[in-house]
Structure 1
Amino acid sequence: MDRRNFTGDGKSRRAVLQATGAVGVAALAGCLGGDEAENLDELLEDDPDEFEPLEIGHWWTAGGEERAFNALIEGFEEEYPDIEVDPSPSPGGAGSALEADVRNRVVDQNPPSTFQVWPGQALTDYTDEELLYDIEGHVWDEEMEEAYLDGPVEVSRPDGDYVAVPINIHRLNNLFYNVDVVDDAGVDPESIETPSELLEAMEDVDDAGYVGMAQQTQAAWSTLQLWAQVLLGEYGTDVYESFIEGDIEAVESEVRDSLEIVVDYREYFNEDASSLNDWDDASGYINEGEAAFFHQGDWAAGEYEADDELEYGEDWDLVPFPGTGEMYTLVMDSFVFPKHNPSPNATVRFLQYAGTADAQERFNPNKGSIPPRTDVSDEAFTPFLQDQMADFEESTEQPPSIAHGLAVRPGIQTNIEGAFANFIDNWDVDETYQELVDSFE
């Protein structure tokens, strides 16, 4: 998956689609017609060993993401040499190009065999109109369910039926830090228990002459995901679940307080935060020894691992965001089985393979993510990712990300993004709270 829900110029993926005139699947599904099998038993009963070319829509076209996709396909072709694989990349727009292409092709009843997509609530545009097949039994079975923890299982069936196969996990609730900076400031990251206490630690860092928290605030997405971790860390998953279910007024004080904490954090951001366009611009403050802390998904580790002068555990390290120690906040990619499928027999075999330990062991080390299965060997992974894998297996809760499409429906996510775009402009808690309430209406 792309590492964030926003394009390089700070626009949200949803905003890009709206600006280009793309129309949601749900709005256009009424145009669909034609005969189609109601379930996979009916669809797959004829010629089960006859394979049409497998077209895979994706946006993994550069760097480690491209290597990860190629490793996945190589493993599949070794398993199924008789199936021709036809990759169909749609680069650009942080995934919005693929989303637009897929939506148009769904409307034309000409989808790719399968495509890369966020699981969870991001799928509801498709599931509401019954445009994806239930793959329980044919792909999901008892062995696979046992290998996945509850969080990945739940986002695979947003409306009750299994419709997606998660291939990877990125962890969002990370707090990276520069070891020398926190030592010089006399701060112990392991001892910080809550987001409120993190504020106190940043005060000590500021007194020592460093930036308390590296951050970019030109684009709203990173402040949205920072606030979500503050809400989780300060008040727990029950409050978080109330929020994503739209029962915001029941947790009004908690939402307001968590917004106030983020406003207080702002005092300790780097002075150029509002002019930085992307997360990696902010992460450089950790590399350069100018900031103590940086909140971001685990993809940020790639910035530090690529720096020959930095060593994991000695120069840079991380802790779970304060208060979220037993959580693993999920950011994921998956594959689905669309109706009007051009190659059903090949598609079901690809989804079966994507759910295996072999596929996930090939894909994730290159991607810089971890497998959603808990029975994958960690030998091919970096020490950092090995630690992440151990944390995932020990986690008791796996809340889905708001900022990356898993936790709320697409239309609601667009509204929340808008609320935080205003928040980073005016830092007005009252106004932002009301806009968050209105986001679910």
Structure 2
Amino acid sequence: MTDANEGSDVSRRDYLKVAGAGTLGVTALAGCMGGGGDDEDTTTDSGSDETTESMDGEDTTTESSTDYETLEVQHWWTGGDGAKAVSALFEGFKQEYPDIEVNQNPVSGGAGQNLQTVIKKRVLNDNPPSSWQAWPGANLQPYVEANKLEDIGESVWGENGMKDAYLQGPKDAAKPGGKFVAVPLNIHRLNNLFYNTKVVEDAGVDPSSISKPSDLVSAMETVESETDAVGMAHQTKSAWSTSQLWAQVLLGEYGVETYEAFTEGKVEANKDAIKDSLQIVKDFQSHFNSDAGSISWTEANKKVINGKAAFFHQGDWAAGMYRGQDGFEYESDWNHVPFPGTEGVYALNMDSFPMPTNNPSPEAAKKFLQYVGSVDAQERFNPKKGSIPPRTDVPKDEFGPFLSQQMDDFANSETQVKSIEHGLAIPPEVKSNFGDAMTTFTSGWNVDKTYKQMKRAFN
């Protein structure tokens, strides 16, 4: 995936180091680099092998107006479905505001890490773009602490009925310091369990009857005894897939309260739950495909398509591969359930656009962020991206059956939790330490050693 929704394995030693920052907040900003993902997984978006040309040089400008400075927006959507979606977004913005000149200035590569490096340098030099693509929530915390983001609670969130149309989870992610500083554009769900319909039927397994993650082990054993398929397709070449998987196991086995307690750093108080969840993932590991350590997530997902694996846990971008496969139809050939134990919960990964201080075009940026939060923008962008809108009042006509069901699940969810792996739930430095712990885990599947690293991650 081009847009780095798939995960992050960037360690502390890869972080941007900037000397001479004046305040504690700016120092934290300089030292805390959120990661993109493993470069092996940056060739496709939503599982498609289709790519499009970078939008560098694309003519998205209109005749300049003296009322607005040029709007500069940076993002990492330069290929695949992401490029199509962001083109649709700016086409709609151009129609709505033809007098605002737009300079799209995308930064490709590194699964988003390259953009984040550029942004941090620009912000530290008080030369930010008008806005940029960013994971919201705790990922933006260093910018908030450094007073580098504007309060847009009234100027942006007071428009378009946004405060009523967004559920609490996305709204909380948009105000990591208590004030609205960003606008989420899309949602990718993380607590999915996809499966090959024929394989589970041949095995006599009903995915909807699996009540908690630990029960999934016996279901996979049954699959392997009754069919030639492995229980779960997975990749361990990089740690992010296992990080996501562990988070859903913790959520499904021990509930929202324990999940959120972990994100707050209450590790020792939840020692048994954390270690048991690691053990469950270790139990899963014996049912992974034998080549898990040498393949990408897209290659793992193909095993579900060709019937070599029963189950697959991944963000909803995995469904892009299924939808793009001829003769592989939703419900009859593939389907999904909420990850066992997470019924009524929607685990969020999101992209957003923040409002920086020292903005080079503050009025144009406000109009852009208002548009990002509108029904029109989210209806244009999300069907092409393979994501759903954070607004609950966007028509479902363009979304297809799978995403329409995801939209219903989101609208009816009892709670929405933020992603650990993508940094919505934990700040960049902690996220880096957590990633190191999960790399240790996938290297040796040592529960005790990994738990100790998780505990140190918050210190």
Give the equivalent residue in structure 1 for 2:123. Answer: 106
Aligned-partner Cα distance in 1 for 2:132–2:358? 13
Gapped regions of structure 1 (runs ≥ 5) = 7-11, 33-47
| Letter of the 1:19 counterpart | D
Query: Residues 241 and 20 from structure 1, CA distance in 2 versus in 1: closer, same or farther, beyond 3 angstroms?
Result: closer
Residue identity matched to 1:119: P
For residues 286 and 125 of structure 2, the distance between their equivalents in structure 1, rounded to whole angstroms, comes to: 51
1:180 to 176, 191, 198: 198
1:19 deviation in Å?
2.8
Query: Residue 256 of structure 1 is aligned with which of 267, 275, 280?
Result: 275
Residue 351 of structure 1 corresponds to 369
Q: CA deviation at 1:125?
A: 1.2
Partner of 2:400: 382
Runs of 4+ displaced beyond 6 Å: 24-28
> Is the contact made by 1:52 and 1:342 (CA closer than 8 Å) also made in structure 2?
yes
The corresponding residue for 1:399 is: 417
Amino acid at match of 2:266: D
1 CA distance for matches of 2:16 and 2:342? 39
- Amino acid aligned to 2:267: I
Matches of 1:279 and 1:384, distance apart in 2: 20
Superimposed CA distance per residue, residues 88-116 of structure 1 (whole angstroms, 9 cap, x where no aligned partner): 00000000110011111112211110000
Q: How does 1:40-439 map to 2 (within 5 A)?
A: 50-141=67-158, 143-208=161-226, 209-276=228-295, 278-439=296-457
- Which residue identity lines up with residue 7 of structure 2 in the other structure? N
CA contact (8 A) 1:22 1:100 kept: no
CA distance in 1, matches of 2:24, 2:287: 44
**2:61: which partner in 1?**
none
Give the corresponding residue for 2:50.
none
Say whether residues 1:19 and 2:1 are aligned partners: no
Taking the aligned partners of 1:284 and 1:5, their CA distance within structure 2 comes to 19
State the Cα distance separating 1:382 from its structure 2 match: 1.6
The structural deviation recorded for 1:136 is 0.7
The amino acid that maps onto 1:366 is K
Give the 3 Å change call, closer, same or farther, for CA 420–436 of structure 1 in structure 2: same
Q: Which amino acid aligns with 1:264?
A: D
Report deviation, 1:5.
2.4
* Contact 2:261 2:267 (C-alpha < 8 Å) held by counterparts: yes
Taking the aligned partners of 1:130 and 1:53, their CA distance within structure 2 comes to: 24
User: Given residue 172 of structure 2, which amino acid in structure 1 is its aligned partner?
Assistant: E
CA–CA distance in structure 1, aligned partners of residues 144 and 415 of structure 2: 25
Percent identical residues: 51
Deviations 1:374-406 (A, max 9, x none): 000000112111111011001111100100110
4, 7, 22: which one aligns with 1:2: 4
Structure 2 CA distance for partners of 1:31 and 1:271, relative to 1, 3 Å: closer
- Quote the residue 1:45 is aligned against: none
Give, as a single letter, the amino acid of the residue that structure 1 aligns with 2:14.
A
Question: Any conservation in 2 of the 1:199–1:265 contact (CA below 8 Å)?
Answer: yes
Q: TM-score, normalised by structure 2?
A: 0.88
The 1-side partners of 2:409 and 2:393 are apart by 14
> Alpha-carbon deviation of 1:28?
8.2
Q: Provide the C-alpha distance between the structure 1 equivalents of 2:237 and 2:28, rounded to a whole number of angstroms.
A: 39
Residues 1:55 and 1:425: Cα distance change in structure 2 (over 3 Å)? same
Superposed displacement of residue 3, structure 1: 2.3
What stretches of structure 2 of length at least 5 have no aligned partner?
30-64
Query: Quick one: which amino acid aligns to residue 359 of structure 1?
Result: A
Deviation at residue 312 of structure 1 after TM alignment: 0.5
Q: CA deviation digits over 1:13-51, x for unaligned, max 9? A: x33x8437454988783699xxxxxxxxxxxxxxx9820
Q: How big is the shift at 1:79?
A: 0.7
TM-score by length of 1: 0.92
**Deviation by residue 1:289-341 (Cα, 9 ceiling, x = unmatched):** 01100000000001111110200110000000000010110000000111111
CA contact (8 A) 1:31 1:107 kept: no
State the one-letter code of the partner of 1:255.
I
Confirm or deny: 8 A CA contact 2:26 2:142 kept in the other structure. no
How far apart, in 2, do the equivalents of 1:433 and 1:375 lie? 42
How far does residue 347 in structure 1 lie from its aligned partner after superposition?
0.3
Q: Secondary structure at the match of 1:89?
A: coil
Quick one: which amino acid aligns to residue 270 of structure 2?
Answer: V
> Which whole-Å deviations, capped at 9, do the CAs of 1:39-93 have from their partners, x for residues lacking one?
xxxxxxxxx9820110001000111101110111111111111000100000000
Write the letter of the residue equivalent to 1:322: P
The letter for the 1-side match of 2:146 is E
Residues 122-153 of structure 1 deviation map (CA, whole Å, 9 limit, x = unaligned): 00110011100000100012821110001000
Structure 2 residue identity aligned to 1:260? Q
